[in-house]
Amino acid sequence: MGHQYQAVQWNKNKVVYDLYMIISLVVFIGLFMVIGLKTYPSGHTAEPVGLMIRALGSAAFSMLTIVLMIGPLARLSPRFNPFLYNRRHLGVTTFLVSFLHFVLALMWYHAAGPLNPFVSLFVSNPLYDSIPGFPFEILGLAALIVLFLMAATSHDFWLNNLSAPVWKALHMLIYPAYAILILHITLGALYTEKSIVYAVLTLGAFGLVAMLHLTAGFREWRTDSGLRHLKKKGWVEIGSPLDIPEKRAVIAPLPGGERVAVFRYDGKIAAITNVCRHQNGPLGEGRVIDSCIVCPWHGWQYSPEDGISPPPFTEKVATYNVRIENGVILIDPKANKPGARVEPAIIDPVSIDEELAS
């Protein structure tokens, strides 16, 4: 969505992003092939097809690692939001590269026998009770199926029809898929690879993803702990209106684990849920533009007073009652129904001047 709430399809930024992505992918695979052919053990015949299979697999794993890094990076710094905005394209491309890796490996290793290659994949290695001989290719197929489901449902059509919670739960399968790929690589390439390069890079990728998620989670936990204050009659104390930048928000935790985005704009304070209806984006990290709260992830917009998207869109989010007492913002932790209009609290300019003077 743009400032005028026009649906964003293809634009110059997306084209440039995809162009850089494709160029990077081609360079990665090209360098992998060149280095692999030059460093092939002397006395052996190089297998370009085998190297291409590894190149595609390595590229897909690297891309999936980047996909998993974008989320926590965007939570740690808004400068990574453009990558989050285009993450779907990277995810779909990751599936396509993974699919090419799977098809090439299937044809190269299972097409020479009398069995159908897909049948051969399941029956050629029955050692499911052996760790060294475990059929790691099945693990790769399992991860590919998850990536296919995510790529096939990446369009907003599926988001709207499945509902945001179901869609989000489905796309959280990316984490099990990543773990399965780690096992696929460990039991496959790493088990037969004499060089430690693959092992170090794989372990480093996993460690980096885990570190970023833990860092982002700790930062949010620390923020929640610092803002978790209850006022009389159960209202949540947020702080002074001056603690909130103009046309921006603070995100405050509520009893029960919900989060509320408290916005200051045009001398008023309003509060809505922090969860965007699109992809559960953090509305509190957005800002007020043209009298609408704009989600920082994909630009969806909502009125701060009733949580309703401007026409022709019909999305609604929950609002919260808010008041100001003695220069302190208080929020009723009980959410109103999505779309319920709530009068914003008016900031007393006299109290603000007195606070600034002190």
Among 243, 286, 248, 252, CA closest to 264: 248
The closest of 172, 158, 170 to 71, measured between CA atoms, is 172
Residues 98, 108 contacting (CB under 8 angstroms): no
Tens place of pLDDT for every residue, the chain, 358 residues?
444 444 445 567 778 888 999 999 999 999 999 988 888 765 555 588 989 999 999 999 999 999 999 989 988 887 887 887 788 889 999 999 999 999 999 999 898 888 899 899 988 888 888 777 788 899 999 999 999 999 999 887 787 778 777 888 888 999 999 999 999 998 887 666 667 777 888 899 999 999 999 998 888 777 666 555 555 567 888 888 888 999 999 888 887 778 899 999 999 999 999 988 887 788 988 899 989 999 988 788 999 999 999 988 888 999 999 999 888 899 998 899 999 999 999 988 766 555 555 5
d(CA 328, CA 355) in angstroms, rounded, equals 11
Q: Is residue 297 packed enough to be buried (19+ CB in 10 Å), middle (13-18) or exposed (0-12)?
A: buried
Alpha-carbon span 54 to 48, nearest angstrom: 10
The structural domains of the chain, ordered by start, are 12-224 (no CATH), 236-357 (2.102.10.10)
pTM: 0.74
pLDDT attached to residue 147: 95
69-107 pLDDT per residue, tens: 998 998 888 788 788 778 888 999 999 999 999 999 999
3-state secondary structure (DSSP) of residue 128: coil
**Closest Cα partner for 302 from 338, 269, 336?**
338
Q: How far apart are CA 63 and CA 209, in angstroms?
A: 12
User: 250 pairs with which residues across the strands?
Assistant: 262
| pLDDT value for 296 | 85
Residue type, 139: L
- Amino acid identity, position 119: V
Distance CA(155)–CA(91), nearest Å, equals 12
pLDDT tens column, 268-281? 999 999 988 887 78
